[in-house]
Amino acid sequence: MLLAQQILIYFSETHYSMLNVSKIREDFPILSTRVYGKPLIYLDNAATTQKPRCVVEAERDQYYTANANVHRGIHYLSQQATDMLEQARVRVQRFLNAPSEKEIIFTRGTTEAINLVAASFGQGLKPEDEIIVSEMEHHSDIVPWQMLQSSRGVKIRVIPLRDNGELDLQTYASLFNSKTRLVCCTHVSNVLGTVNPVSEMIAVAHSHGVPFLVDAAQSVPHFKVDVQQLDCDFLAFSGHKVYGPTGIGVLYGRSALLEQMPPWQGGGEMISSVSFDKTVFEGLPYKFEAGTPNYVGSHVLAVALDYVEQLGLDNIAAYEHQLTSYAEERLSAVPGLRIFGKPQGSRGSVVSFLVGDIHHLDMGTLLDRLGVAVRTGHHCAQPIMTHYGVEGMVRASFSFYNTEAEIDALAEGITRVSRMF
């Protein structure tokens, strides 16, 4: 029986109309780890998520039973591995509701997906062409465009961030002109948790004939993302943030745009024919997948998506919203604690904070000694730190396997650390 079928039967038999968190936690062995003699409380899910047994076992099983290079061999194992790769592509297509599996390109992650667009779409840009990004972007959605700025002379225009953690959409609408070629924006801020109204932002961009790239690394794991409903032109996410393996990610691209874009890497897989006189490139999606693909990672990502969808993305979104609201309430009661960003809409599963004058590294280090894993630093979003006039923040980020008891432990740990200063 296929592992995906086993997962489906498991969840149908247990009737998961709502999340049974204690049962779910049994799927994640690492959550029973002890740190410095304390139970692990893992609150760094925005950086990477833990992996359920079915994901780890799927990776093991493919190496044991179906490991062979894809698209090249006529033997049984190669055909089997090829089928699993292409089935994974269709799985991702369904997960995102993309019109065609040809619009799904496997990458190493969100960063590589954005770099692919910058390197390929960017070849059509001219000096003085403009790209719009937001002040809340991850460095992965800033640096590639700055590299184009250096190599091709394009200009970057920035959507400003309001102090409440929301983007200034009025200014955004004023940034467009005849030289605007692309808008790139995160769906959910990895620091502030702000859920941007990207559907509305995309409509504005399209009214000017400008394509829109969505960084969905922090949205895909937490709620349903439908590329046709959003009407986006590109969308990127990483497997390891959605309970899958590292080293695999996805770029969705509208086929009309991808057809026009040149390959960004050359080698095997992405060619139809090669001679010393001429190379003819493959069609979509293969012209963007040079070399041996991560055929194991793509299959395991598909298993992770099965796991998430069997839990129910609506169930996940509702539970994590409740958990994040509880965290805001508990942390706001800690004397001297400042939460950054107060978006009027719902906050993603992230709360970033500082306590008085306590350095973020000191807070994170001491919380770790209490078994609480949080992230400290600039979170690869230094412009946000500059906006708020801080060097770094402490970030707690939540998953469906976290509990209110763990948030209580976080709040108590912060209070205990604060008393030491």
Distance CA 117, CA 128 (A): 18
Q: Are strands 38-39 and 34-35 parallel, antiparallel or unpaired?
A: antiparallel
Q: Which helix (H) or strand (E) holds 328?
A: helix 313-332
Strands 234-238 and 212-215, bridge-based pairing:
parallel
Task: Specify whether 380 is catalytic.
Answer: yes
- Transcribe 232-266 into DSSP letters: -SEEEEEGGGGTS-TT-EEEEE-HHHHHHSPPSS-
Catalytic position from the list 54, 184, 185, 380: 380
In eight-state DSSP terms, residue 90 is H
Closest C-alpha among 193, 190, 202, 223 to residue 111: 190
Which residues is 213 bridged to in the sheet?
A: 184, 234
> Which among 166, 207, 162 has a CA at the least distance from the CA of 183?
207
186 close to 179: Cβ distance less than 8 angstroms: no
Q: Which one-letter DSSP state was computed for residue 108? A: S
Nearest to 406 by CA among 350, 330, 339: 330
CA 215 – CA 232 distance, rounded (Å): 11
Tokens in use for 322?
A: 């409740």
Catalytic residues, by residue number, are: 380
